[in-house]
Amino acid sequence: MAPTGARKGRLAIVAGGGFLPLYVAEAARAAGENPFILRLRNEADQQWQGFDSAVIGVGDMAGLSALLKTNAIDRVVLSGGVKRRPAFGEIRVNLKSLLKLPMAVKTLLAGGDDVVLKMVIGLIEAQGCHVIGAHEIAPDLLADTGPIGKVSPSADDWRDIARGAEAAEALGRLDVGRGR
């Protein structure tokens, strides 16, 4: 399934660790895309034979910008795990990201994972690309809504589920939780 909206350019998949980037790339290819894989140095751990790809440092916005332009990329999917934030000396900027550098450094030093992710999305979009979710390329990775087994939740269970959802949302607003 292709993402909503008209395609103008190529899809890039920023690949961290794990199998998710490979699943997304395979789904994109099955939907008629020719994804370009941006393998994060010291993070991406899959083999990418048969895909166009390049290795890029986590903080290399100048290199990212050049790869996006050279490969006519207009959409980017972030996928896979990233274990560490870039050291200050690893950050390479271009003119488009230079204006966001003070905010980016502050975020890298003090922000939680959600704040950092939003900052990365902003930096990528400043390069002229649209960041889309992995589920837009590989919707089959999402679970169906509703009970997984034969038993449905009772009214008491639904109350507990609602309280749990409220607690999860509260933690999300605090940007203190982590899922692995």
Out of 79-83, 111-115, 118-122, 150-154, give the one with best mean pLDDT.
150-154
**Tokens, residue 102:** 């003070």
Residue 36 has pLDDT above 80, yes or no: yes
Please give the residue that has the higher pLDDT: either 147 or 167: 167
* Count of C-beta atoms within a 10 Å radius of residue 71: 17
Q: Assign a CATH topology to domain 10-140.
A: Rossmann fold (3.40.50)
Is the pLDDT reported for residue 102 higher than 60? no
Residue in 63, 70, 14 with CA at minimum distance from that of residue 37:
14
- In this prediction, residue 147 has a pLDDT band, given cuts at 50, 70 and 90, of confident
- Rounded to a whole number, what is the distance in angstroms from the first to the last CA of the chain? 27
Using CA atoms, how far apart are residues 114 and 171, in angstroms rounded to an integer? 11
